[in-house]
Amino acid sequence: MKKYKVLIVDDSAVVRQTLTSIFQSDKEIEVIGVASDPYIAAHKIQDEIPDVITLDIEMPRMDGLTFLRKIMTQHPIPVVIISSLTEKGSQTAIRALEYGAIDIITKPKLDTKKFFEESKIRLCDAVKAAAISKIERKKMITPTLGVTPKLSADVILQKAQQTSMLKTTELVVAVGASTGGTEALREFLEALPHDSPGIIIVQHMPEMFTRSFANRLNELCRITVKEAENNDSVLRGRALIAPGNYHMLLKRSGARYYVEIKSGPLVNRHRPSVDVLFRSTAKYAGANAIGIIMTGMGDDGAKGLLEMKEAGAFTIAQDEKSCVVFGMPKEAIKLGGVDKILPLEHIANFVINKK
């Protein structure tokens, strides 16, 4: 079996040792080296090119963002950021995603070793997703743990037995994305006019980053983009992004659509979960919705998209060529939950004409 080669770059010896132990425990991952700063990492890359680099932000001699930018503009290699980013520093995380980082994992300032050991599955999955991702050169302007059960959307919201929703003039667009989704969502939302249908989004992203991500999109787009709050109305010209670490559900009261933000177990090992959003959209919007599943690792959203289709919604999957990771769309297609497969650059225009 071919193993994914990983280079760990972090100035903490404890972090380097712990990550090495975690990655080596996965039979699909091989740690080919560690480096305490980007200069050492650059020398190691000359000897052997890794499939993935895990990278800290705050390091001596050169910060991780500068190193990331150099990598992605000169010789692109998939990068997973693993850093102690605070809420204040979450703008740095958004910048890292813009520079081309595949994923971001937040490590706490205290008890880092315990956190990593408890997050073994998340860390290994992030590395493997990055290893199979498609990236382009950027133009710049420890102990083995048991696998926790993979829960379905049933733990948050039961599937509706029947849908009696009549077709109305108002449309809701529900979007789910994961690895590579930050840039895919930016391209999709930037292409929408100011009067586009109301949009609700789940992007797998750590807590505290979603607000900065939403604020950044709000600056770039003609529509309003905000991190969703409980009871926010779904309105034309507005996109609501589920806050990190909380599920988001669509609800309806009379003619008004709104969102419910709630905690609860991980669904498909994610919170927020795309399946939860899609199931609630199927239940409360039915044929008055469009479901879109974008780039991402795993299968979160595949079953929910099928439920939307069965409830009368029109469903779209991003095509393989434009995906960073063709995981979630592929699973939705396999289940038969997709009406149309489209390149990323065509999705916004289709939604505009569908409204």
CA distance 157 to 277: 10
Catalytic residue among 90, 103, 204, 270: 204
- Sign of the CA dihedral running 240, 244, 250, 255: negative
Contact 153, 275 (CB under 8 A): yes
What's the token pair of residue 124?
Answer: 């290994």
Contact 313, 197 (CB under 8 A): no
In this structure, is the dihedral angle defined by the CA atoms of residues 253, 256, 262 and 265, taken in order, positive or negative?
Answer: positive
Q: What is the 3-state secondary structure (H, E, C) of 195-229?
A: CCCEEEEEECCCCCHHHHHHHHHHHHCCCEEEECC
204 is catalytic: yes
Q: Angle 260-355-176 (CA atoms, 0-180°, nearest 5)?
A: 45
Structure tokens at 256: 């008004």
Residue 315 and residue 198 in contact, taking contact as beta carbons nearer than 8 Å: no
**Catalytic option among 178, 196, 273, 322:** 178
Marked catalytic residue, from 51, 56, 103, 300: 300
- Buried b / exposed e over 1-19, threshold 16 CB at 10 Å, is eeebbbbbbbbbeebbebb
Q: Give the whole-angstrom CA distance, residue 204 versus residue 271.
A: 8
On the CB side of 296, CA atoms within 13 Å amount to 29
Residue whose token pair is 């109301």: 198
**Which element (helix H / strand E) includes 187?**
helix 181-190
Q: Are 289 and 234 in contact (CB under 8 A)?
A: no
- What is the DSSP pairing of strand 256-262 with strand 247-253? antiparallel
Q: What residues are labeled active site? A: 178, 204, 300
